[in-house]
């Protein structure tokens, strides 16, 4: 799972990003960019190329400026396709299921986050948790990616 030092690091990173005025929607887009980089750079070797390419298609849509803010139909359509995929692969392909769950996060926006009221100021903790479930070795890449913003 996540140890106390990781939680402290996430909270510090969150404060840093919020201090720079980064919105939740921007955090979501940067998470989508990180996932897309992992897919395109062959870092997720435990998922078939076919499934990776399908997920890359969703991630490319998620990073387009305005998608989170104003393309409600694309967001809903993506949720309707990705949630069943995540569920279907839980047993047969847990890595793909974890990637689908991560990609689902890339279509959530600030309004969703505020409405759902998780108790966290931003979704960074969940982004990290899902990425770590997907590939424990990619956890450090998460911090490197967000710290350079």
pLDDT digits (tens, 9 = 90+) for 5-52: 999 999 999 999 999 999 999 999 999 999 999 999 999 999 999 999
Q: For all residues of the chain together, what is the average pLDDT? A: 96
Question: Which among 22, 47, 52, 28 has a CA at the least distance from the CA of 113?
Answer: 28
- Residue 1 reports pLDDT greater than 90: no
Question: Which among 55, 34, 149 has a CA at the least distance from the CA of 97?
Answer: 55
Give the whole-number percent of the chain exceeding pLDDT 70. Answer: 100
- pLDDT for 7 equals 95
Rounded Cα distance between 148 and 94, Å, is 30
- pLDDT for 28 equals 98
- Residue 119 reports pLDDT greater than 90: no
- pLDDT for 117 equals 86
- Residue 109 reports pLDDT greater than 80: yes
Q: Indicate yes or no: pTM above 0.85.
A: yes
119: which DSSP letter?
S
Is the Cβ–Cβ distance between 131 and 142 less than 8 Å? Answer: yes
- pLDDT for 103 equals 98
Residues 103-140 as b or e (16 or more Cβ within 10 Å = b) = bbbbbbbbebbeeeeeeeebbbbbbbbbbbbbbeebbe
């Amino acid at each position: 799972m996540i140890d106390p030092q990781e939680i402290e690091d996430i909270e510090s990173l969150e404060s840093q990003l919020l201090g720079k005025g980064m919105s939740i929607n921007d955090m979501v887009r940067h998470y989508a960019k990180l996932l897309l980089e992992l897919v395109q750079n062959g870092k997720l070797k435990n998922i078939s190329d076919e499934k990776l390419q399908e997920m890359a298609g969703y991630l490319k849509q998620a990073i387009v400026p305005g998608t989170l803010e104003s393309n409600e139909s694309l967001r809903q359509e993506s949720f309707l396709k990705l949630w069943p995929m995540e569920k279907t692969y839980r047993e047969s392909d847990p890595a793909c299921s974890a990637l689908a769950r991560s990609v689902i996060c890339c279509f959530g926006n600030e309004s969703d986050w505020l409405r759902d009221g998780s108790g966290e100021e931003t979704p960074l903790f969940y982004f990290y948790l899902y990425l770590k479930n997907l590939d424990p070795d990619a956890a450090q890449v998460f911090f490197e990616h967000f710290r350079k913003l």
